[in-house]
Structure 1
């Protein structure tokens, strides 16, 4: 959008070379510097002790700078999976947001400026949320439907109308379904850019799954990149992923073990640091088990135990050994609540099977899992393993927070299951200040405002998300275990999907899944790729059609907390959608009407998909969206959660914060009231009756056998693997603080705080002649990327850290110049679905190859290629 295309009341911010006097007249930069210099000289002539009355400021640094009483204030929220969703307060002039603030305590019933209590803390946005104006009005903002006119990935698109885009996509969908069957279209939605109770991109409940399911052509992506191994562990052990406490429970812990967890960067619940700081003030001790010494460890003065990546289950097994042999386990808790911890708690029907204690003591395999056994595997001294085991077993209550990160590896589920075994054997489950967290979902929200349909979210095949490229490249010569094909009870069971199209809705998965070079090879075999987003993402560059989606500032919705946090935030339409943006719900509704015109078998598809709407919904969605949201509030929220605040009051205040009578603790009712756990046995299943009962693993989505008790299994690649002869460094790719995955990567404000770089230990860097700031190449047989180096002693030797989410920029040879680690990661299938993000063995050296740090740093915004044909 050019300056002269802005709305009449839009604010044009001056450039860095502009200077403005108090009357709004422009000085030339040279004159302005002269004035500053003269003033500075005059100031130097004032004698010490002489009082000079300061003048009242007559102007801001630039004008116009509106004060709050000149602006309209609207309460809304963030929308992404950063670890929480918090209040954003938009201050707008006309239809332009000129600044953002956050919760100050007054945007709730009974609120007042400055209110911030233990029961109702402020929901303050982080820097990512506060920077959102830069994303909203970014040069990369997608404003019009676009169609590819060059090769995929060549950046060549032309502007087309919505009619052209939707008609062409609908025609192609019907053709693909007819020619290749009901598995031809792959659903790769996720909650990247569209997440609320109404406008939802999500693998399970989302609008795309509903759309493709009702159309009758959908291959689902069943695994979640962030925590699939953890999800498996929680379901096998507890029968649910709702195994988390609300974060206020941390304030009551006497020991917090941050296992692979850096809450300064990846909090789960927006007030995590507030409550952990409270625990620290009350005398809580902190431990960090992690290859790198993190900012969180520094803040809490934690005991840092550096560990070789992906060897966590071995160290935990050794801790269990030390606890068992010293008889420190909580046997009373085990006998009452745990299945298969030892011979006495083994189910009768599995009496001859190995139990967890037998495995730890080496009864069957003749290898006791002693701390001395674990030391060479994990690189942690046996004495440190013993010390931590004693601290955890003999401190009550203690919180072992097993973060998702170590589980993002081959056999990552074994780490999470081993952590659950430690949590159970010490009796730290279901008590205030303890912790059972794997997935960590806590308070339950009513999450869907649109109606269910009997055909919604159906799929005719479901594969592991990052195995789509393998499936496409090798079809039909693919085994189900290679792609994690989910079993079905019909004639499609076992049949490999013939994928010919991808829909990306609210996801930048092409940039975010493992082994990107393999994806690049596969995408040219597809006949249709549609990207629905508000921003021109790296995924969009490889699409055939780009559909501009309204941001959460430009549609009506309600924000949910993200796994933790007991509140709702009203999300009104703050401004009208920029350009020709539409909501996902508008696009899918209109697509349904067009599909039913092409295919008579889809009779009334539009009305069934969006029963409250008429055909004009594509142009006028506001009344319908309001009706859905009010019905959701009046029904689900007020009825099920006993909220007395009316919908109109909620809209007026902006937030609703639940006041709980006591901190929410996962499984408190099971431990104190005898409520059964949600497993088949009604107990915590360290011995999984489900896994023990599987006879033919080839008929499952896993494909390979998974132990029915937690065990240490050597990962695909590690520092203990022979591959170190060629690739001696273990690369891990944790989440950064300044991005949410790839979202916000193009925000200059945030890029000023951090540069994408690879962190290397000082001793390793010295051997290789690498200094901080040197450009290096990091590579393995899967790919290569180029980044600057950062040298530190806060990292275990032999380990490299390269944060995930950088917007890829491959050259003609497939070398990524932006530093995206997923050019190096494995897409091999871990049986329980864990993604091997942290499993890459690599080599590193100084290089003359070019590093291009980001789209925003280029002389001309790369978005210009999307504007030239308008």
Structure 2
């Protein structure tokens, strides 16, 4: 780069540049002067060179009216699912746009509104083309040739890869029994109604169930705390309102929720903005001041991580002690909220069957859960707890949106249950503008187009997802409660699974589950690891077999809204599968034929024959048409034909009334789906368990919501060794680990650890320094970001970055799951955010994945001064 004092002739490579352009110094300077003139003239001055410049090396870039336009959607697991419009030239997608109102029946450019809002994609969805054509795209079947984890593979044929897998599967089943293969499918980027990777109802589970060798995982990493809480409390996980109801709220309490980064519905921000314009007050409880707090000018209440249930208990004490609760609502709809709502079968305080109000007031343990008591635990001033409790109890309607992040903690289920108790005691459940979520599932979508039968629910043992490594490393000396073994109604109950193989489908779990160093030890003991993905991921590097899976641009399917939103988006095959990619359904169908001939093959895929592995379009079309006509049109009253749906690309439902969870229970007396038919603050299930070791929970869980001290927190004596509490929220520029290799997104954000400015000053750390974070479980290296937007004592390191190990096992990329503990809560909540660690400047190498300057310039604009 030249400076004001550097002559042009002294700049590097000037002589080489002169020779290549065949210019004298005088003519070169004339040219640069002319360039300045061009800029001044708006670029209208024509320069004459020896040869005519050719703008395109091969052919002119096609104009928009020459491109074919195809409606499709994004596919990742981000908290929403939006429309993408692919603009293709021949068989290449050259750019992506999104919903502009015209791609629907009766649509036109610019059509938008509350009833049929546009489904506009975010920066992740719009960057999908780079992921599709990335250097890490997996195009051919591969077999490992080096040591596991070394990343050395050779290209093989599909026949060779599938033969290897089937021989290994038969060997594992015959040698180690029906628990020998672990199903680790997840939503990833394969989630549709036909080509579905899913922990609960996906293609892999049905395939392994039919094969007769499957250990499944029952705890969901994202939200198991609230899943169990909602089932205990409401009897269902469909506890969410549609997002348009947020516009009716007068108070929005965003507890650990940052929709600027992770949506929970397709148009969340639009409706929250409407609420703000109508005078809604916003409160955010979070260890960091988020972009959402800034966007809504929210009252930010910093809180010590993992202490949310204590603060909620303090709020409940203020409400009860000042008689601010909605007693009429409690008496009519709740069980166990107070002594008057206790069931006859549970005399008060007998066998731990307590009521919530008396626990809060201190009747049982002599410790009233006052705001002052809560303040000592959570670090929030008692006056702020009182103020928020007063606001929530007196403002109607008010929405307490209890997000999933605070539940990803030790005893996270208690946070979710405490939130439900607050929602109920203030009477904000089943009310427009109120909130009962929880899990947040809203409008019901018909989600399965492939054959879904009892085989999908067959498993021979089921464990907590993050305990597989513990099970493998300690087999057979494992207690059932250590791994959350699900009870069985046969003589195999209590059998510890002998896991010898793993299938990863739509799952980068090796990079994403807790305590990666423990996983590394365990995976070395396995005999078969299969990774099915469209991209070579960190999990794939540790696999034996890599199977290239077609992306959603390369197969026919339909996109579902993600927990929120009421629409379907058609997903045609936009381009032909790249390389030798196949769909998940094709792969499992072919494996079924190889393992069990026509009997297994036809049973798994009834509409297909053996040719499906090579030609699948007509079969997929048949399944999708049948699903649309038999389920969507018949069950949901849709009058748009399948052919019209394909033509328009999207179907947006118009609801008769805003979708409010439990509105019929409150307004029409429909019973809740709990054993009592009421909102169970006292859980019928938990209050009647005698032997906890025979349950999937393994350990005691209070029958009412309670504050339980976590195993690591800023209140722990462990802070003497590891003084900082690390949280790992979702990033804006990735969906978990998806898009980590997308340079466009890495230009906007960088993986870095956030620290409070006062803490940084004490440690002599400045913005941009390379630091190491460590505890007894591992060590990571990452740049540091210094700010006032994070409370003291807390570090923030976003989850999902692709790990990159040095020879000593130090992660140079900054993946927080080298520091997390694989010990889950009794109800299955992952303790991602229950982590103490230390931090210091380091000389260890940091590797962001590739050259920092060529991909991310964000740090250039972050200065110490």
TM-score band, normalised by shorter chain: over 0.9
Say whether 1:490 aligns with 2:486. no
Work out the CA distance in 2 between the residues paired with 1:539 and 1:30: 56
Structure 2: gaps of 5 or more residues: 1-12, 14-19, 48-52, 856-865
Query: Shift of residue 661 of structure 1?
Result: 2.0
Q: Is the 8 A contact 1:748 1:856 kept in 2?
A: no
Cα distance change on mapping 1:687 and 1:45 into 2, 3 Å: closer
Aligned to 2:367: 367
Indicate how the Cα distance of structure 1 residues 158 and 459 shifts in structure 2: closer, same or farther if over 3 A, else same: same
Structure 1 pair 856–501 and aligned structure 2 pair: CA distance change class (3 A): farther
Residue in structure 1 matched with residue 620 of structure 2 by the alignment:
625
| 2:510 matched residue in structure 1 | 510
| Corresponding residue for residue 302 of structure 2 | 306
Q: Deviations over 1:348-396 (max 9, x none)?
A: 1102231000100000100000011111100000000000000000000
d(CA) in 1 for partners of 2:358 and 2:43?
81
| Preserved contact between residue 202 and residue 456 of structure 2 (Cα < 8 Å) | no
Match of 1:23 in 2: none
Where 2:786 maps in the other structure, the secondary structure is: strand
Structure 1: 4+ residue segments shifted above 4 A? 26-36, 43-46, 52-63, 855-860
Distance 1:36 1:770, change over 3 A: farther
Task: Decide which of 251, 261, 264 is 2:260's aligned counterpart.
Answer: 264
CA distance in 2 between partners of 1:29 and 1:707 (Å): 83
Task: Note if 1:211 corresponds to 2:207.
Answer: yes
Q: Which residue of 2 aligns with 1:379?
A: 379
Go from structure 1 to structure 2 and tell me whether the alpha carbon gap of 1:289 and 1:27 turns closer, same or farther (over 3 Å shift).
farther
Q: What secondary structure does 2:456 align onto?
A: coil
Deviation of the 1:188 alpha carbon: 0.1
Structure 2 residue 339 is matched with structure 1 residue 330: no
Given that 1:729 and 1:799 are in contact with CA atoms closer than 8 Å, whether structure 2 keeps it comes out as: yes
Task: Check the 8 A contact 1:718/1:839 in 2, yes or no.
Answer: yes
* Separation in 1, partners of 2:188, 2:578: 19
Q: Secondary structure at the match of 2:231?
A: helix
Please list every run of 5 or more consecutive structure 1 residues that lacks an aligned counterpart in the other structure.
1-16, 18-25, 47-51, 598-602, 861-870
CA contact (8 A) 1:214 1:455 kept: yes
Distance 1:171 1:30, change over 3 A: farther
Aligned positions of 1:114-263 closer than 5 A: 114-263=110-259
Kept in 2, the 8 Å contact 1:782–1:825? The answer is yes
Trace 1:235-634 onto structure 2 (pairs within 5 A): 235-353=231-349, 354-597=354-597, 604-634=599-629
Deviation at 1:43, TM superposition (A): 6.2
Determine helix, strand or coil for the equivalent of 1:570.
strand
Q: Distance in 1 between matches of 2:789 and 2:194?
A: 44
| Secondary structure of 1:834's aligned partner | coil
Name the SS of the counterpart of 2:710 in structure 1. coil
Query: Residue 492 of structure 1: CA displacement?
Result: 1.0
Match 1:785 to one of 776, 780, 785 = 780
Displacement of 1:29 in angstroms is 13
Aligned partner of 2:703 among 689, 708, 712: 708
Question: Do the aligned partners of residues 90 and 55 (structure 1) sit closer, same or farther apart at CA in structure 2, a change above 3 Å counting?
Answer: farther
Equivalent residues of 1:747, 1:856 under 8 A apart? no
- What corresponds to 1:670 in structure 2? 665
1:236 aligns to what SS in structure 2? helix
CA gap 1:807/1:27 in 2 versus in 1, 3 angstroms:
farther
In 1, Cα distance between equivalents of 2:458 and 2:333: 37
The answer as to whether partners of 2:737 and 2:802 remain within 8 angstroms in 1 is: yes
Task: Look up the SS of the partner of 1:211 in the other structure.
Answer: helix
**What CA distance in whole angstroms lies between the structure 2 residues aligned with 1:67 and 1:205?**
43
- Deviation of 1:42 after TM superposition, in Å, equals 2.7
Task: Kindly indicate whether the alpha-carbon contact (under 8 Å) linking 1:687 and 1:709 is maintained by their aligned counterparts in 2.
Answer: yes
Secondary structure of the equivalent of 1:815?
coil
Cα pair 1:291 1:309 within 8 Å, conserved:
yes
Q: Identify if the C-alpha distance between structure 1 residues 28 and 821 changes in structure 2 by more than 3 Å, giving closer, same or farther.
A: farther
C-alpha deviation, 1:61, in angstroms: 9.9
Helix, strand or coil at the partner of 1:456:
helix
Distance in 2 separating the partners of 1:383 and 1:817: 43
Matched, 1:753 2:755: no
Kindly indicate whether the alpha-carbon contact (under 8 Å) linking 1:482 and 1:829 is maintained by their aligned counterparts in 2. no
Deviations 1:549-585 (A, max 9, x none): 0000000000000000000000000000000000000
Map of 1:847 onto structure 2: 842
Q: Which whole-Å deviations, capped at 9, do the CAs of 1:298-347 have from their partners, x for residues lacking one?
A: 01000000000000000000000000011000001101111110000110
What SS does the aligned partner of 2:429 have? coil
Task: Tell me, yes or no, if the aligned pair for 2:733 and 2:749 is still in contact at 8 Å.
Answer: yes
Change (3 A) 1:155 1:644: same
Displacement of 1:39 after TM fit? 3.8
Contact 2:553 2:574 in 1 (8 A): yes
1:66-91 deviation line (CA, Å, top 9, x unaligned): 22211110000011111111110000
Select 1:743's aligned residue among 728, 738, 743. Answer: 738
Deviation at 1:44, TM superposition (A): 8.6
Task: Give secondary structure in 2 for the equivalent of 1:504.
Answer: strand
CA positional deviation for 1:65: 2.8
- Residue pair 2:38, 2:44 contacting (<8 A) in 1 also: no
**TM-score, normalisation: structure 2:** 0.93
Q: 1:525 to 1:646 in 2, by over 3 A?
A: same
Q: Structure 1 45/197 Cα, relative in aligned 2: closer, same or farther at 3 Å?
A: closer
Q: In the TM superposition, what is the alpha-carbon distance from 1:105 to its structure 2 partner? A: 0.3
Mapped partners of 1:204, 1:667: distance in 2: 24
Distance 2:40 2:72 in 1: 51
SS in 2 for 1:151: coil
Q: Is contact 1:453–1:608 with CA below 8 Å preserved after alignment?
A: no
Q: 1:265 to 1:59 in 2, by over 3 A?
A: farther
Q: How many residues align?
A: 826
Distance 1:718 1:194, change over 3 A: same
Shift of 1:54: 6.5
Deviations 1:98-151, CA, capped at 9 Å, x for gaps: 110000001100000000111000000111110111000000000000000000
Whole-Å separation in 2 of the counterparts to 1:30 and 1:420: 78
**2:724 is aligned with 1:729:** yes
Deviations 1:599-636, CA, capped at 9 Å, x for gaps: xxxx6000000000010000000000000000000000
Deviation at 1:95, TM superposition (A): 0.5
For residue 810 of structure 1, report the CA deviation from its aligned partner. Answer: 1.1
Deviations 1:714-766 (A, max 9, x none): 11100001100000000000000000000000000000001100000000000
Alpha-carbon distance change, 139 to 44 in structure 1, aligned in 2, over 3 angstroms: closer
Q: Distance in 2 between matches of 1:639 and 1:524?
A: 50
Is contact 2:185–2:506 with CA below 8 Å preserved after alignment? yes
Work out whether residues 342 and 348 of structure 2, in 8 Å CA contact, stay in contact via their aligned partners in 1: no
Q: Given that residues 229 and 407 in structure 1 are in contact (C-alpha distance below 8 angstroms), is that contact kept between their aligned partners in structure 2?
A: yes
Aligned-partner SS, 1:434: coil
Cα distance in 1 for residues equivalent to 2:746 and 2:590:
38
- The structure-2 alpha-carbon separation of the partners of 1:836 and 1:637, relative to structure 1 and needing over 3 Å to count, comes to same
Return the alpha-carbon distance in structure 1 between the equivalents of residues 657 and 338 of structure 2.
34
Match of 2:825 among 827, 830, 833: 830
- Alpha-carbon separation, structure 1, partners of 2:263 and 2:386: 29
C-alpha separation in 2, matches of 1:801 and 1:572? 40
- 2:797 aligned to 802, 806, 809, which one? 802
Structure 1 residue matching 2:174: 3-state secondary structure:
helix
For residues 538 and 825 of structure 1, what CA distance do their matches in structure 2 show? Answer: 18
Alignment partner, residue 96 of structure 1: 92
